[in-house]
Amino acid sequence: MAEQDPTVVAVYELVAADYQRVAEFRVAPNGTVELTLAEPGGCPLARQWFRDGITTADRQRTCTPADGAEFLRAVLRSRPINFTRVVDESRAGEPRRTTSSSVAGTPPLPTPRQL
């Protein structure tokens, strides 16, 4: 495997003029994915992905949280959504994929041109 499997993926939403971390997907010890929300009932998009799964980029199948890292890869490859950013935070301080150059409460992240 050329690329390390993602283990933590965060979802940020634009609130006022800043992106705020609203949800986190994390691989659990049993290999499935758990969802943590910043606020109860928050981030409808993350809750929908967690409940219904997400279709893979090649549209071959729907990944669910039971699929572990494969589910996280599908979330990372989801089509861009206005006012929402999905960030691979598997290695703290070294985000590998982001579509935001500034996220509230964290150091500036690389822009797509820098990756």
- Residues 7-55 have pLDDT tens digits of 999 999 998 889 999 999 999 999 999 999 999 999 999 999 999 999 8
Looking up tokens 């609203």 gives 22
Q: How far apart are the first and last CA of the chain?
A: 20
Percent of the residues in the chain that have a pLDDT greater than 90, as a whole number: 62
pLDDT at 12 (0 to 100): 95
| pLDDT, tens digit, 9 for 90 and up, residues 98-111 | 433 333 343 333 33
Poorest-pLDDT segment among 3-7, 75-79, 92-96: 92-96
CA-to-CA dists, residue 79 to 38, 40, 56, 76, 97, angstroms: 23, 25, 10, 9, 13
What's this model's pTM, rounded to 2 decimal places? 0.76
**Quick one: how many helices (H) and strands (E) in the chain?**
2, 6
How buried is 98 (Cβ within 10 angstroms: 0-12 exposed, 13-18 middle, 19+ buried)?
Answer: buried
Q: What is the mean pLDDT of residues 79-91?
A: 89
Q: What is the mean pLDDT of the chain?
A: 80
Q: What pLDDT, on a 0 to 100 scale, did the predictor assign at position 3?
A: 67
Q: Is the pLDDT of residue 97 over 60?
A: no
What sign results for the dihedral spanned by CA atoms 35, 32, 8, 44? negative
Report the C-alpha gap between 75 and 12 in whole angstroms: 13
